[in-house]
Structure 1
């Protein structure tokens, strides 16, 4: 009888092995990526553990070295992706599933990072106080007609630094400094808060327009406390005078240590699948990276636009100079 029980236990253990794990260090708030991670676990039986690391991710990975439990890094903004790569804490992933799914402009040439979603840096405009066609270009935001009408978060935030890098790439340092000075002169109040709080300021009548990322509209409409703010504005896609609408990405990279490399690679491949890209599109209202995956109905309702053609590498390279110019004009002061 004891022998029979032992055999039964062994058989059960073989039939139902312990679940594996993939560990992620994420700059992205957990609720934004959890739906797609849950879908991966349901599909593969592989658990995913996420540690939200708001600051000091590179320092943490360096300190942990080969002992790091992290398999993957997930973050927003090309500068943060380049930061982890340049720190030497990632590894190249040569995988045809990834390179075939992700267009070349949205992945590292050496396969250290891969874009997962994209977003546009747009203008939120008051439906009551801003006429159709009144906002056209990013350059126009520095003209006097917007005096006292603009709100923004800190210009040293990743999203605004990337936008400044794009202006720098299009127009050079002198013109970008002048643009920053004009934009600062048009602020209705000192930069503070996040993109959503700028929309609240428009709703409250404190300003007429603000800079923001597209997907925040979806998040606000899903939050009963913020729905009224969202409904007070419309989305406008400005362009650079010699380009298109500024774009940025969220992305993933495999750490150098990656103790669970095989399962981590499975997750990376899932993240660029039609299923995962559709989950991103429907739950976060971000633009899918993979060609052929439809945007959510809400995102489609915002209309078509022309993305800027600047490479993400260019934005990352110009980040230090952009930050220097933002500091020189004391934008947040």
Structure 2
């Protein structure tokens, strides 16, 4: 990926110079989403509108870069991968509102839009439980149950401070309060098989290896593993697990979001709005969801066949803005209970 990023940055340097930021028939995109994931979308947009897309991929520091560029920033549209980064863009004052846009508002539910119209969700993914097909008989679970001592030594997880986990922990605060969540995190920590480590995919690998029985992971990684021709061993990891949707019988499964925002000083604002309207459309959401195995946000839109094979998701209706405001407290609790040190001796 580093090589892709280097080539990409070198290849579009001229496109993002200040002197050429504004160009007829172009739109500049700063993206946390990997270029190969959004290419089919952007190709279709250009095909339909004739507007050329220039993409700058960053794996970190997007807000800082736009701030440094100031009023002359060439950024038109920002694409991000989770509520944390959407919130960072808003809090960092690098985006502007898109108010009263009938196309965007029609296709994106209010719970997946910023209350100030600073960002808009495009696709969602569930933060689910990966469970061993061989060793876990149950097909229902709750997040609360992860702190039950019956799972002692049987759970593996990535870094507690990772954005995906912090969003889930923040949702627990929103639902139950900080005191409950602190106790719950302590119980979850004490049920871990080892210190938090790796990424979501490697948790599935650990389950296959018998190192743990369950883990937390995003739904879309299962689809990526199932179809990975470049690393076919990941197909075996996916075969070893089943997807359990926590809290399906009550409030629903926590979801996170990929989203978009209009850059504060967008030099090609008209083209940027056209792109945002396209990204909100059913056609674009179908392409996006099938490419990255996520759920389209448009009411009634169908996920891909692979995503359907995981089972039916009942999304938690808690607005993501409520989740986002508890992120800092969730991070503090992760440190307070020494979550990343793993289970107590």
TM-score by length of 2: 0.88
Show the counterpart of 1:269.
277
Show the counterpart of 1:12.
none
Unaligned runs of 5+ in 2: 1-22
For residues 156 and 129 of structure 2, the distance between their equivalents in structure 1, rounded to whole angstroms, comes to 10
Show the counterpart of 1:109.
115
1:41 and 2:46 are equivalent in the alignment: yes
Which piece of structure 1 moves more, 111-120 or 74-83? 74-83
1:181 and 2:186 are equivalent in the alignment: yes
Q: How does 1:74-85 map to 2 (within 5 A)?
A: 74-85=79-90
Cα distance change on mapping 1:240 and 1:139 into 2, 3 Å: farther
**Offset at 1:303?**
2.1
For residues 180 and 110 of structure 1, the distance between their equivalents in structure 2, rounded to whole angstroms, comes to 32
- Whether contact under 8 Å (1:138, 1:240) holds in the other structure is no
**Offset at 1:20?**
2.6
* 3-state SS of paired residue (2:125): strand
Show the counterpart of 1:23.
28
1:226 and 2:234 are equivalent in the alignment: yes
- Whether contact under 8 Å (1:73, 1:252) holds in the other structure is yes
Q: Of residues 163, 170, 173 in structure 2, which corresponds to 1:168?
A: 173
Unaligned runs of 5+ in 1: 1-17
Show the counterpart of 1:32.
37
1:70 and 2:75 are equivalent in the alignment: yes
Q: Of residues 79, 91, 103 in structure 2, which corresponds to 1:97?
A: 103
Structure number, greater radius of gyration = 1
Show the counterpart of 1:196.
201
TM-score by length of 1: 0.91
Cα distance change on mapping 1:64 and 1:31 into 2, 3 Å: same
For residues 169 and 178 of structure 2, the distance between their equivalents in structure 1, rounded to whole angstroms, comes to 10
For residues 200 and 181 of structure 1, the distance between their equivalents in structure 2, rounded to whole angstroms, comes to 25
Cα distance change on mapping 1:99 and 1:43 into 2, 3 Å: same
